[in-house]
Amino acid sequence: MSAPLSPQTETVTPEPAGARSSRDLTRWLPTVRDTLVAIVLAFAVGALLIIVSDEESLEALGNIIDHPGSFLVYLGDFVRHSASAVFDGYSALVLGSVGSASSLERTLERSAPLICAGLGVALAFRAGMFNIGAQGQALVAALAAGYVGFTFDLPFLVHLCAAVAAALLAGGLWGGVVGLLKARTGAHEVITTIMLNQVARFVVLFFLAKEAFQRPGSNNLETPVVAESARFPQVFGLHLGIVLAVLAAVGVWWLLERSRLGFEMRAVGSNPEAARTAGMSVAKVYVAAMALAGMLSGLAACMTVLGLSQSVTENVMGSVGFDAITVALLGRATPLGTVLAGLLFGALSAGGVRMQTSAGIPPDLIQVVQALIVLFVAAPALVRGLTRVRRRTTTETKEAGA
Amino acid sequence: MSTLVTDPTGRPDAPAEPQVRDRADVRRQVKLVVVLALLVAVEIWFKLEITDPEVSHLLKGPRSAENQPVFFDGSYVSWGAVAITAVALLLAVLNRYPRGAGGVLLAVLVGASFYGSFLMWAYADSALPIAITNPLGGTLLVATYLVLGALAGVVCERAGVVNIAIEGQFIMAAFFASVFCSLAVASLGGLPLFWTPVVGMVGGALAGVLVAALLGFFALRYQVDQVVVGVVLVTFGYGLTSFLRGQIPGDQAARLNRPYQLENVEIPGLADIPYIGQAMFNQTLLVYLMYLAIPGVWFLLFQTRWGLRVRSVGEHPKAADTVGIDVIRVRWQALLLGGVLAGLGGSAFTLSTGAFTSQMSAGLGFIALAAVIMGRWHPIYAALAAIAFAFLRNLRDQLSILDEKVPGELISMLPYLATIIAVAGLVGRVRAPAASGQHYSKGD
Amino acid sequence: MRLEIHGLTKRFGTFTANDAIDLVVEPGEVHCLLGENGAGKSTLMNMLYGLLEPTEGTIELDGKPVSFDGPGDALAAGVGMVHQHFMLVPVFTVAENVMLGREQTRAGGVLDRNAARAKVRELSERYGLKVDPDALVEDLPVGVQQRVEIIKALANQAEILILDEPTAVLTPQEIDELMDIMRELKAQGTSIIFITHKLREVKAVGDKISVIRRGKVVGTASPDASEAELAELMVGRSVSLVVDKDAARPGAAVLSVRDLTVIDPRGHMVVKDVSFEARAGEVLGIAGVQGNGQTEMIKSLLGLVRPDAGVIELDGRDISRHGPRQSLEDGIGYIPEDRSHDGFVGTFSVRENLVLDLYRSDEFSSGPRLRLGAIEENARARIAEFDIRTESPETPVASLSGGNQQKVVVAREFARDLKVLIASQPTRGVDVGSIEFIHRRIVESRDSGTAVIIVSTELDEIYALSDRIAVMYDGRIVAVVGPDTPREQMGLLMAGAVPDQPTTSSDGAVA
Q: Identify the pLDDT of residue A395.
A: 36
Closest among C407, C411, C414 to C431, alpha carbons compared: C407
What angle do helix axes A380-391 and A25-52 make, rounded to 10 degrees? Answer: 80
Q: Within this chain, do residues C10 and C150 fall inside the same structural domain, yes or no?
A: yes
Quick one: what percent of chain B has pLDDT higher than 70?
91
Closest among B225, B240, B217, B248 to B168, alpha carbons compared: B240
Range of the domain at B72: 23-133
**What gap in Å lies between CA A212 and CA A204, rounded to an integer?**
13
Mutation target to probe the A interface, by most A beta carbons within 10 A, among C347, C361, C399, C416 is C347
How would residue A237 be classed by pLDDT, with cut points 50, 70 and 90? Answer: low
Spell out the residues 6+ positions from residue A153 whose beta carbon is closer than 8 angstroms to its own.
Answer: A159, A227, A229
Q: Within this chain, do residues C423 and C507 fall inside the same structural domain, yes or no?
A: yes
Quick one: what percent of chain C has pLDDT higher than 70?
92
Q: Identify the pLDDT of residue C267.
A: 73
Q: Identify the pLDDT of residue A17.
A: 39
CB C437 within 8 A of CB C465: no
What is the Cα B166 distance to its own chain's centre? 12
pLDDT at B297 over 90: yes
Mutation target to probe the A interface, by most A beta carbons within 10 A, among B210, B367, B413, B439 is B413
pLDDT at B148 over 80: yes
Domain stops at, among C204, C235, C266: C235
pLDDT at B10 over 50: no
Range of the domain at C486: 240-331+417-511
In a domain? residue C339: no
In a domain? residue C322: yes
In a domain? residue C336: no
Q: Identify the pLDDT of residue C469.
A: 94
**What gap in Å lies between CA A4 and CA B158, rounded to an integer?**
11
Higher pLDDT, C31 or C430: C31
In chain A, the N- to C-terminal Cα span, in Å, equals 35
How would residue A398 be classed by pLDDT, with cut points 50, 70 and 90? Answer: very low
pLDDT at A2 over 50: no
User: Average pLDDT of B265-289?
Assistant: 86
**What gap in Å lies between CA B346 and CA B178, rounded to an integer?**
10
How would residue A387 be classed by pLDDT, with cut points 50, 70 and 90? Answer: low
Q: Within this chain, do residues C268 and C389 fall inside the same structural domain, yes or no?
A: no
Q: Within this chain, do residues C407 and C453 fall inside the same structural domain, yes or no?
A: no
pTM over 0.90: no
Q: Within this chain, do residues C66 and C97 fall inside the same structural domain, yes or no?
A: yes
Q: What is the ipTM of this complex?
A: 0.83
Question: For B96-100, C54-58, C314-318, C408-412, which range has the lowest pLDDT when averaged over its residues?
Answer: B96-100
> How many helices (H) and strands (E) are present in chain B, helices listed first?
16, 5
pLDDT in tens, A259-316: 999 999 999 999 999 999 999 999 999 999 999 999 999 999 999 998 878 889 888 8
Domain positions in chain A are 104-347
Nearest CA in chain C to A266: C348
What angle do helix axes B136-158 and B166-187 make, rounded to 10 degrees? Answer: 120
Q: Identify the pLDDT of residue C350.
A: 94
How would residue B442 be classed by pLDDT, with cut points 50, 70 and 90? Answer: low
Question: For A170-174, B319-323, C264-268, C359-363, which range has the lowest pLDDT when averaged over its residues?
Answer: C264-268
Pick from C325, C344, C368: CB nearest A274: C344
Q: Count how many domains chain B has.
A: 2
Task: Check CB contact of C71 with chain B, cutoff 8 Å.
Answer: yes
Residue C297, H or E segment: helix C294-302
Q: Within this chain, do residues B226 and B300 fall inside the same structural domain, yes or no?
A: yes
User: Average pLDDT of C352-363?
Assistant: 92
pLDDT at C411 over 90: yes
Report in angstroms the alpha-carbon separations of A104 from A237, A242, A369: 12, 12, 20
Pick from A6, A206, A375: CB nearest B409: A206
Nearest CA in chain C to B321: C71
Nearest CA in chain B to A185: B424
Residue type, B58: L
Report CB contact under 8 Å: C100, B1: no
User: Average pLDDT of A167-191?
Assistant: 92
User: Average pLDDT of C75-89?
Assistant: 88
Q: Within this chain, do residues C145 and C164 fall inside the same structural domain, yes or no?
A: yes
pLDDT at A378 over 90: no
pLDDT at A397 over 70: no
Q: Within this chain, do residues C102 and C202 fall inside the same structural domain, yes or no?
A: yes
Report CB contact under 8 Å: C370, A20: no
Q: Identify the pLDDT of residue B121.
A: 86
User: Average pLDDT of C4-17?
Assistant: 84
Task: Check CB contact of C470 with chain B, cutoff 8 Å.
Answer: no
Task: Check CB contact of B250 with chain A, cutoff 8 Å.
Answer: no
Higher pLDDT, C155 or B247: C155
Q: Identify the pLDDT of residue A26.
A: 62
Q: Identify the pLDDT of residue A346.
A: 93
Beta-ladder partners of C30: C192
Q: Identify the pLDDT of residue C33.
A: 87
Task: Check CB contact of B245 with chain C, cutoff 8 Å.
Answer: no
Pick from B11, B308, B442: CB nearest C100: B308
In a domain? residue B361: yes
Q: How many CB atoms lie within 10 A of CB C355?
A: 25
pLDDT in tens, A139-165: 999 999 999 999 988 898 899 999 999
Higher pLDDT, A273 or C491: A273
What's the CATH class of domain A104-347? mainly alpha
pLDDT in tens, C93-108: 999 999 998 888 887 7
Quick one: what percent of chain A has pLDDT higher than 90?
45
Higher pLDDT, C363 or A392: C363
Spell out the residues 6+ positions from residue B210 whose beta carbon is closer than 8 angstroms to its own.
Answer: B172, B339
Give the domain CATH number at C213. Answer: 3.40.50.300
Q: Identify the pLDDT of residue C16.
A: 80
Higher pLDDT, C202 or C192: C192
pLDDT in tens, B112-121: 899 888 888 8
What letters, b where the CB count within 10 A reaches 16 and e where it falls short, cover C32-64? bbbbbeebbbbbbbbbbbbbbebeebebebeee
Domain stops at, among B133, B158, B175: B133
Domain stops at, among C416, C445, C465: C416
In a domain? residue C509: yes
**What gap in Å lies between CA A183 and CA B220, rounded to an integer?**
30
pLDDT at A95 over 70: yes
Report in angstroms the alpha-carbon separations of C447 from C41, C158, C248, C285, C437: 39, 57, 8, 16, 15
Q: Identify the pLDDT of residue B334.
A: 96
Task: Check CB contact of C88 with chain B, cutoff 8 Å.
Answer: yes
Report CB contact under 8 Å: B11, C141: no
Rounded mean pLDDT of chain C? Answer: 85
Q: Within this chain, do residues B161 and B62 fall inside the same structural domain, yes or no?
A: no
pLDDT at B336 over 90: yes
In a domain? residue C338: no
In a domain? residue B265: yes
**What gap in Å lies between CA C151 and CA A375, rounded to an integer?**
45
Q: Identify the pLDDT of residue C302.
A: 92
Q: Within this chain, do residues C389 and C268 fall inside the same structural domain, yes or no?
A: no
Q: Where are the alpha helices (DSSP H) in A271-363?
A: 272-277, 282-302, 320-330, 335-359
User: Average pLDDT of C205-213?
Assistant: 86
User: Average pLDDT of B3-29?
Assistant: 53
Spell out the residues 6+ positions from residue C251 whose beta carbon is closer than 8 angstroms to its own.
Answer: C279, C280, C281, C282, C449
Question: For B266-280, B426-440, C1-15, C305-319, which range has the lowest pLDDT when averaged over its residues?
Answer: B426-440
Task: Check CB contact of A274 with chain C, cutoff 8 Å.
Answer: yes
User: Average pLDDT of C371-398?
Assistant: 91
Q: Within this chain, do residues C112 and C182 fall inside the same structural domain, yes or no?
A: yes
Spell out the residues 6+ positions from residue A248 whose beta carbon is closer than 8 angstroms to its own.
Answer: A115, A116, A119, A296, A299
Neighbours of chain A (3+ CB pairs under 8 A): B, C
Rounded mean pLDDT of chain A? Answer: 84
Closest among C214, C295, C244 to C446, alpha carbons compared: C244
Q: Identify the pLDDT of residue B107.
A: 87
User: Average pLDDT of B152-180?
Assistant: 94
In chain C, the N- to C-terminal Cα span, in Å, equals 53
pLDDT in tens, C427-473: 877 777 788 888 989 999 999 999 999 998 777 788 889 999 999 98
Taking one residue from B and the other from C, the number of pairs with CB-CB distance under 8 angstroms is 105
Question: For A51-60, B314-323, C34-43, which range has the lowest pLDDT when averaged over its residues?
Answer: C34-43
pLDDT at B362 over 70: yes
Q: Identify the pLDDT of residue B245.
A: 87
Q: Within this chain, do residues B80 and B145 fall inside the same structural domain, yes or no?
A: no
How would residue A207 be classed by pLDDT, with cut points 50, 70 and 90? Answer: very high
Report CB contact under 8 Å: C51, B315: no
A-chain CB neighbours of B430 within 8 Å are 1
Q: Within this chain, do residues C124 and C144 fall inside the same structural domain, yes or no?
A: yes
pLDDT in tens, B370-396: 899 888 899 999 999 999 999 988 888
How would residue C234 be classed by pLDDT, with cut points 50, 70 and 90? Answer: low
Report CB contact under 8 Å: B225, A10: yes
Q: Within this chain, do residues B107 and B212 fall inside the same structural domain, yes or no?
A: no
Pick from B12, B312, B320: CB nearest C269: B12
Q: Within this chain, do residues C86 and C111 fall inside the same structural domain, yes or no?
A: yes
Pick from C357, C369, C370: CB nearest A278: C357
How would residue B40 be classed by pLDDT, with cut points 50, 70 and 90? Answer: very high
Q: Within this chain, do residues B129 and B141 fall inside the same structural domain, yes or no?
A: no
Q: Within this chain, do residues B99 and B162 fall inside the same structural domain, yes or no?
A: no
3-class SS letters over C389-416: CCCCCCCEHHHCCHHHHHHHHHHHHCCC
Q: Identify the pLDDT of residue B302.
A: 93
Q: Count how many domains chain C has.
A: 3
Q: Identify the pLDDT of residue A390.
A: 47
Q: Identify the pLDDT of residue C85.
A: 82
Give the domain CATH number at B229. Answer: 1.10.3470
**Phi first, then psi: what are they for C105, rounded to 5°?**
-130, 155
CB A342 within 8 A of CB A114: yes
Report CB contact under 8 Å: C110, B303: yes
User: Average pLDDT of B118-129?
Assistant: 80
Q: Within this chain, do residues C407 and C450 fall inside the same structural domain, yes or no?
A: no
